[in-house]
Amino acid sequence: MWRRVALFSPMMKKSSSSRSLTLNQKGFGLKVGESFATEIINPEEGVSPPKEKAPFITFVLGGPGSGKGTQCERIVETFGLTHLSAGDLLRREIAFNTKNGAMILNLIKEGKIVPSEVTVKLIQKELESSDSRKFLIDGFPRTEENRVAFERIIRADPDVVLFFDCPEEEMVKRVLNRNQGRVDDNITTMKKRLKIFEALNRPVIDYYENKGKLYTINAVGTVDDIFQQVLPIFSSFEQLKECRHVNPKSPLGSSLVENSS
């Protein structure tokens, strides 16, 4: 589906290397990792530069109950990204009683992290079977090991990393009122999840901050207030302006181009 092509260009900016270096081709049935094989070409030999851009990937990070899923719904409405919730993909394995279902259930109950290979393979399947060009990957990567596994298997980097920054007290309140019948929405598991978030997810957040890709959102306030902080981040990316699902109520609605494909 995607094919990575490296161009030698003195004008290439370091921070945008992953976007500048990629050429994507729709081609279902191709494995993401395989189709991302790097190929070096020299523009002086007359090879045309890539015409298509890489899929736009956003990682959505934040503690349990920080509002990731809620804000993802708003982003989807306004910018038409495809929402992939890592937690939902794992819960689907439990619901369908797949070979990993029982193992996943036990880990989620304890607030522990599912082995990277399992989660990345589920994400990979979704990426490969979708014809979307822009994805919100919600609740992943949870650990540095997750991040490295994604890079190794998918061979892609996120364009944007959102971090919903929320005080623990507020996250606990929200999770205990979430009312979705989740096995991990109880105070005992929540305490473990918060510890795991601090120990394992913080280093991922720091990693993207150092790479200049992190956008920190103050996740306290109304859903609308918080979305007002998210809006300008996405509206600055040209490739998101061709939006399939324009919400007419969105402040950006009139400036987005509707694309019926």
Q: Does 178 bind ligand ADP (CB under 6 A)?
A: yes
Q: Does 66 bind ligand ADP (CB under 6 A)?
A: yes
Q: With contact defined as beta carbons under 8 Å apart, do 208 and 161 qualify?
A: yes
3-state SS class at 14: helix
- Segment interacting with ligand ADP (CB under 6 A) among 36-44, 112-120, 148-156, 171-179: 171-179
The single-letter code of the amino acid at 173 is K
The nearest distance, CB 114 to ligand UDP, in angstroms, is: 4
Q: Does 67 bind Mg ion (CB under 5 A)?
A: no
Q: Is 146 annotated as a binding residue?
A: yes
Q: Does 141 bind ligand ADP (CB under 6 A)?
A: no
Q: With contact defined as beta carbons under 8 Å apart, do 207 and 144 qualify?
A: yes
Q: How far apart are the first and last CA of the chain?
A: 18
Q: Does 161 bind ligand ADP (CB under 6 A)?
A: no
Q: Does 226 bind ligand ADP (CB under 6 A)?
A: yes
Q: Which long-range contacts link 179-182 to residues 24+ away (Cβ below 8 Å)?
A: 182/91
- Rounded Cα distance between 89 and 119, Å, is 8
Residue 82 C-alpha from the chain's centroid: 9
Task: Count other C-beta atoms under 10 Å from residue 186's C-beta.
Answer: 12
Q: Is 253 annotated as a binding residue?
A: no
Q: Is 112 annotated as a binding residue?
A: yes
Q: Is 63 annotated as a binding residue?
A: no
Q: Does 63 bind Mg ion (CB under 5 A)?
A: no
Q: Which of 55, 67, 69, 80 binds Mg ion (CB under 5 A)?
A: 69
Q: With contact defined as beta carbons under 8 Å apart, do 237 and 56 qualify?
A: yes
Q: Does 111 bind ligand ADP (CB under 6 A)?
A: no
Give, for 84, the enclosing helix (H) or strand (E): strand 82-85
Q: Which amino acids are annotated as binding site for a ribonucleoside 5'-phosphate, given as ranges?
A: 91, 112-114, 139-142, 182, 193
Q: Which amino acids are annotated as binding site, given as ranges?
A: 65-70, 91, 112-114, 139-142, 146, 178, 182, 193, 221
Residues that bind ligand ADP (CB under 6 A): 62, 64-70, 174, 177-178, 221-223, 226
Q: Which amino acids are annotated as binding site for ATP, given as ranges?
A: 65-70, 178, 221
